[in-house]
Chain A
Amino acid sequence: MIEGLLPELEVIRKDFPILERTLAGGYPLVYLDSANTSQKPQVVIDTMVDHLERHNANVARAMHQLGAEASEAFEAGRDKVAAFIKAPSRDEVIFTKNASEALNLVANTLAWRGDLQVGEGDEVVITEMEHHSNIVPWQLLTERTGATLRWFGLTDDGRLDLSNIDELITERTKVVSLTWVSNMLGTINPVREIADRAHQVGAIVVVDASQAAPQLPVDVVASGADVLVFTGHKVVGPTGIGVLWGRREVLEQLPPFLGGGEMIETVRMERSTYAGIPHKFEAGTPPIVEAVGLGAAVDYLDHVGMDAIHAHEQAITAYALEGLQTVPGLTVMGPLDAASRGGAISFEIAGVHPHDVAQVLDSRGIAVRAGHHCAKPAHARFGVQSSTRMSSYLYTTPAEIDALVEGLHHTRSYFKLDA
């Protein structure tokens, strides 16, 4: 038994019906693509089905019993998410379509007239290890406003290079936006340290927690973030819903994003006034059943315990790093000690392209991701065009890692690398 694994791993696996699947050739599914999207436990599926079967109505505007039930279930989802990330107030939790929309909401509204408006001469600081969704919105913002985009580089072992932090974060810096855990390198970044520096110069700190929220205990206040985003489908919840948490003062200073129903206080033909948070940022009918499902998902994770899940991920990651080292010609990108990284491990195998690696693994029922993982600049930093990525989660077993490692040895022999 490897230390740190979830003690009831077999019970947990039974919660995820898809893990029973077999694939072409009779191979059992070995799902190692959870950083891409996580699988869903029965309780999330059942909660969503029950909502659609018994409580479906629009929220906040239907004056009937079903409407009240739907509104209550939807808002309960918000309460559960607020508890999951230890938000000081439920009103600070805004539902979006996904993490990308949440980041775009912030980057767009910062371009518009308001207390926090970014303009010429201002600077926005990101990092070279960001997912494209935390790069492109800031490129758009700085292009539109005449502000300057700057970024932290990376060290050879895949960490943020903080040696020039005082040159990067200056009195011109208005926003610092960074990922908590890299989706490609797995690196866990010192968010608090960077946030403290950013706050000294009065910048706001945006944290992409898409990979952190699934595997680390999150306390938004302790993290140092002013705004923190993540997506539902990576925390065993459904697709179609993301979360934007922001400190009340920040959210109140930002102008509305999308206009429409539900985000208003009153509308006249000349002008409108707006609802308070969170509704100010939730125009139109929201993702209702998705919010209900997300509530069930974070409840499930809280029930298992985020500390226990984190320990499990670290144990599996350490075991995987060890196993991967036995494959000749394999190079892991990112930190090599499991303690300072998350559960996504990207690697290269000399002589086989990642697509071909993934294809051979898939023929044995092993699902991994191949490509640039929406992190082209991070790949370019390490001089590679693409990589293969395995990513584990609370349901991953050491036996699945063994299957991966064996599959990689097989891949090398299939492509006759030793011939």
Chain B
Amino acid sequence: MDLDSLYQEIILDHYKHPHHAGLRDPFEAEVHHVNPTCGDEVTLRVHVADGVVEDVSYDALGCSISQASTSVMTDLLIGKSVDEAMTIHQTFLELMQGKGQVEPDEDVLEDGIAFAGVAKFPARVKCALLSWMAWKDATAQSLDKEKA
């Protein structure tokens, strides 16, 4: 079992020094997601204005994979249009669910390609996806609110 393919340097760096950590104002939606099998949790806020992801802020507890994934996600999504962000989300999801068979696209995923190895560890895929699912949920809620 190749541990180093799971714990890439990039992942360990993000784990030790997470980007965009902490909960910030303003925000349109806040969600709390947990991984019931292990108890990892994230509280995540999104601030969307004029179709742009202005901010993603969070307070998360969990393993290196879930923490690094959250950090990388904020790097990738903040500043993008919601549509672009959703595309990146979909690309990351496909990589994670690809059982290690999907070639990651560095142009889209940047540091996120470091998670390619996680896809080979089925027990850890949920860790990597926790905050991504939280972001999608929160964004959907903020868009609903906008329409209402």
Q: Name A's B-contacting residues (CB within 8 A).
A: 24-25, 353-356, 359-360, 362-363, 370-372, 376, 379, 385-386, 414-416
Contacts and interface: CB of A to CB of B under 8 A. Distances in A.
A106 to B, nearest CB: 25
Contacts of A356: 7, 63-65
Given A355-B63, A356-B63, A386 B39 contact: yes
Interface in B15-72: 37-41, 61-65, 67
Contacts, number: 48
Given A356-B64, A362-B1, A416-B12, 7 more contacts: A353-B63, A356-B63, A372-B39, A385-B40, A385-B41, A386-B38, A415-B64
Given A25-B1, A353-B64, A385-B61, A359 B124 contact: yes
B41 A355 contact: no
B3 interface: yes
Chain B interface bracket (under 10, 10 to 19, 20 to 34, 35 or more): 10 to 19
A307 to B, nearest CB: 36
Contacts of B67: 353
Contact of A385 (B1, B7, B37, B39): B39
A414 B64 CA distance: 13
Contact of A371 (B3, B6, B37, B124): B37
A363 B39 contact: no
Contacts of A362: 1
Contact of B12 (A25, A363, A415): A415
Given A353-B64, A356-B64, A415-B12, A379 B1 contact: no
Given A353-B63, A355-B63, A414-B3, A372 B124 contact: no
Nearest to A371: B38
Contacts of B65: 355-356
Nearest to A23: B1
A354 B12 contact: no
B82 interface: no
B71 to A, nearest CB: 14
A327 B64 CA distance: 20
Nearest to A362: B1
Contact of A363 (B3, B38, B40): B3
Contacts of A372: 38-39
21 contacts: A24-B1, A25-B1, A355-B63, A355-B127, A356-B63, A356-B64, A356-B65, A359-B3, A360-B3, A362-B1, A363-B1, A370-B38, A371-B37, A372-B38, A372-B39, A379-B39, A385-B41, A385-B61, A385-B62, A414-B7, A415-B64
B51 to A, nearest CB: 36
A359 B127 CA distance: 13
A353 B6 contact: no
A415 B67 CA distance: 15
A386 to B, nearest CB: 5
A120 B37 CA distance: 34
Which 9 pairs of residues, A with B, have the shortest CB-CB distance?
A355-B63, A353-B63, A372-B39, A371-B38, A24-B1, A363-B3, A363-B1, A386-B39, A385-B61
A354 B63 contact: yes
B10 to A, nearest CB: 14
Contacts of A353: 62-64, 67
Given A353-B62, A353-B63, A359 B38 contact: no
A371 B40 CA distance: 8
A359 B15 CA distance: 16
B1 A355 contact: no
A385 B1 CA distance: 27
Interface in B57-108: 61-65, 67
A372 to B, nearest CB: 4
A371 B127 CA distance: 12
B15 to A, nearest CB: 9
A359 B37 contact: no
A355 B40 CA distance: 10
Contacts of A363: 1, 3
A246 B3 CA distance: 49
A359 B12 CA distance: 14
A366 B7 CA distance: 18
A12 to B, nearest CB: 29
B14 to A, nearest CB: 13
B8 to A, nearest CB: 13
Contacts of A360: 3
Nearest to B67: A353
A171 B136 CA distance: 52
